Structure 1
């Protein structure tokens, strides 16, 4: 998975009725756009995040990021 600062990240729920979690990548700490990422979540919290298979990244230019 590769991302850039400003890309949006979504963590999709594995449980029925549980909403997806959305945030914006504010820092990329891995080499060449790889994790970990610092993410500012919709609720205003910010955390270092290692994405899993249930995550998608939407590039700030509108394209889907490479998995």
Structure 2
């Protein structure tokens, strides 16, 4: 896993109803971008040093924005489908 400051660390939370945790990578300790990373967690605004596990991955800002757009489009499509089914006789 390699990152640069400004990338996002995404930690998937398997087996729960919680969404994945997101942290903005503020600093990378090694010249090649390997962990540990100093991050700021989006949900708590707290900073910390992280050694990511196998449930984590790094995304660029553009990749995360594209993912968020796809998720919004998916939710919108489901809501339209539900609305259309309710309106059907």
Specify the TM-score bucket, using the shorter chain as the normaliser.
0.7 to 0.9
TM-score, structure 1 length as denominator?
0.82
Which of the two has greater helix per residue?
2
Give the aligned length. Answer: 63
Larger relative CO (CA 8 A, sep 6+): 1 or 2?
1
Structure 2 portions without partners, runs of 5+: 64-89
The aligned counterpart of 1:51 is: 52
Residues 17-49 of structure 1 show CA distances to partners (whole Å, capped at 9, x for unaligned) of: 122110100000124100000010012100000
Which of the two has greater strand per residue?
1
The aligned counterpart of 2:6 is: 6
Greater Cα radius of gyration, structure 1 or 2: 2
Structure 1 portions without partners, runs of 5+: none
Superposed CA RMSD in Å reads 1.6
